[in-house]
Structure 1
Amino acid sequence: MALTPDLVEEKVQRYPEIQPLAHAEEEHLEMLPEMLAGGDYGWRDPEWIVQWYGRRFLGGMPNAERRALEDAYDDNDYEAVHAAIEAAVEADGPKEKCSHLTSLAGVDVPIASAFCQFLHPEEYVVVDERQWSTLREYGELDAAYPSPPTATDYERYLETYRAVAERCECSLWDLYRALWVLSADI
């Protein structure tokens, strides 16, 4: 089976049925880019991105692992978070953005990619094993998910993601939602 515009459109429609966080995701995709770019946010706004990364798996990520990730992020002070986000907003390209964001405690490349997604949803999307493996299952990526992925891995993944989204005539977010649904069917 191939990823086609019709398949993506069909699966996007099913996304809210299987992802209870769908409404909250939409709200954050609308409000966070402007807030983060303008620097007008509180502690909880970027913290939500870190929480979202693990909680969207709805128990698929072990609770202890998710809590450790969130606790590590909480070791950052507000000024460091603000400086890293400001630098990421201004940076060009995924490697540069990830470099600034991974300077924060508890932020690895996958979580940095989540920040990128909420900073610039029209250009970036989160990387995780579920999305990567689904792209691989559909013949879009050759290699298995690198654990952990590097910024170079993320760059390669993002190039593939953008090409598939263009071919399927959809946004990166729509492709994300379609792949999420497809991964549940694999």
Structure 2
Amino acid sequence: MELTPALVERLAAEYEREAPFHTVEQESIETLPAAFESGEFGRRDASWVVEWYYRREMGALSNRERREREDAFEGNDRREIKRAIVDAATADSLDDALDRLTQLDGIDVPVASAFLFFIDPERYLVVGEREWNALSDAGELHDPYPNPPTRAEYERYLNTCRSIAERLDCDLPTLYRALRQLSQE
């Protein structure tokens, strides 16, 4: 299925109507970027990103595995969490941002991509199996989902998403919503 402006618009609108996380995602897209850059956020805001990443994929992990991963993040010192997120928000490059975030326990490249999405949703997009597979089904990516993606694979995914968004004249959050919806069809 080829991604077109009309298809992306339709799928994103369906996601907005149907997805249980859409309202809180949108609120977070509107509030977290400034909070993460300035450091004016609480531990709960950071924990929410980790929980959001795993819970939007209910069933992909057992409850035990999900809790273990969330607990690993919770074991980080709150000052180190804040420092890593602010440093990632002000980093000059994707590599620098990933370096800071992945130094935290419980944060691999996919979860770091979730933080980047809420740090700057116009620049970064979260990666997960559903988004990757939707791009693959649309002929935009040709490799199966690497579980988990490496930095290089995330960068390739991100560049593909940016290229699609530019080609279709949409922003990355709209593309995210469309990919999530497409992955359910």
* TM-score scaled by length of structure 2: 0.96
Alignment partner of 1:82: what SS?
helix
Alignment of 1:103-114 (within 5 A): 103-114=103-114
Q: Which runs of 5+ in 1 are unaligned?
A: none
Give, in angstroms, the shift of residue 56 of structure 1. 1.2
Who is 1:20 aligned against?
20
Percent identity, aligned pairs only, is 47
Rounded to whole Å, the distance in 2 between the matches of 1:151 and 1:181 is 25
Alignment partner of 2:37: what SS?
helix
Who is 2:157 aligned against?
157
Who is 1:127 aligned against?
127
Question: 1:18–1:181: 8 Å Cα contact kept in structure 2?
Answer: no
* TM-score scaled by length of structure 1: 0.96
Rounded to whole Å, the distance in 1 between the matches of 2:94 and 2:161 is 13
Rounded to whole Å, the distance in 2 between the matches of 1:145 and 1:92 is 27
Who is 1:137 aligned against?
137
Deviation >4 Å, runs of 4+: none
Rounded to whole Å, the distance in 2 between the matches of 1:101 and 1:112 is 6
Give, in angstroms, the shift of residue 110 of structure 1. 0.2
1:127-180 Cα distance to aligned partner (Å, 9 max, x none): 111101110111101111112211111111100000011111111110010011
Rounded to whole Å, the distance in 2 between the matches of 1:16 and 1:161 is 19
Alignment partner of 1:184: what SS?
coil
Who is 1:10 aligned against?
10
Q: Which runs of 5+ in 2 are unaligned?
A: none
Which moves more between the two structures, 56-65 or 22-31?
56-65
Rounded to whole Å, the distance in 2 between the matches of 1:157 and 1:175 is 13
Alignment partner of 2:183: what SS?
helix
Alignment partner of 1:36: what SS?
helix
Which moves more between the two structures, 61-70 or 120-129?
61-70
1:63-113 Cα distance to aligned partner (Å, 9 max, x none): 222111101101101011011112111212222211110000000000000
Who is 1:101 aligned against?
101
CA RMSD after TM alignment? 1.1
Letter in 2 for 1:122: E
